[in-house]
Amino acid sequence: MSTPSTNLGIQGRPHFQLQVRPAEARDEQDIARIYLQATQDQLATFENFLVTPGERTRWVADHSGKFPLLVAELNGRVLGWSSLNPYHARPHIEGIAELLLYIDRDYRRHGVGRELMRAMQFAACEQGHYKLIGRFLTHNDAGRTLCRLTGWREVGVHQKHTRLDGSWYDVVLVEYLITENLK
């Protein structure tokens, strides 16, 4: 793993002037850059979107209210992002959202994901969601650790769920219950 190029303080870890805030149109390029890294590194995604400027503009604009899009920023640089998205099930289940969370490869394992996760869990609670779900490639050890540290549980594995560069990969399914909203 490469070391961040900016001076972040002791042992390369941010001092947490890290700001987690709602994404804005000006963040589109950074969101796409970080998403592309996740696609290239084959850690968290098996989809390919946010490719064209139009897709990015529309996707960022569509995330507000019940399905927010947050970015983690340090000294003007976006280090990661997280979004809540409608959970697509048959029938539609109100109160469940799917979480996406991506971190710039130079800042993984530096606490950025944990800050974004906690902020999004709070936002989801405020929006009335009672459950968040997520899925990512099983070899993403950092993602699995992050989920354990922030109260998620693994509920299963889809075997041979996606094919990347000619190889089959398993996908882990995780969930987070928001007990305050289960009443």
Domain architecture of the chain: domains with CATH: 15-181 (3.40.630.30)
Q: Could you tell me which of 67, 38, 35 has the C-alpha nearest to residue 49? A: 35
H helices within the chain, ranges in order?
28-41, 53-61, 112-126, 141-149
d(CA 31, CA 29): 5
pTM assigned to the model: 0.79
Q: What are the CA-CA distances from residue 159 to residues 136, 138, 143, 170 (Å)?
A: 12, 10, 18, 4
What does the pLDDT read at residue 81? 93
Q: How many alpha carbons fall within 13 Å on the CB side of residue 120?
A: 37
pLDDT in tens, the chain (183 residues): 333 333 333 355 545 589 999 999 999 999 988 888 888 887 666 666 666 778 878 888 888 888 999 999 999 999 999 999 887 766 778 899 999 999 999 998 899 999 999 999 999 999 999 999 999 999 999 999 999 999 999 999 999 988 878 889 899 999 999 999 998
CA dihedral 77, 80, 84, 90 (to 10 degrees): 140
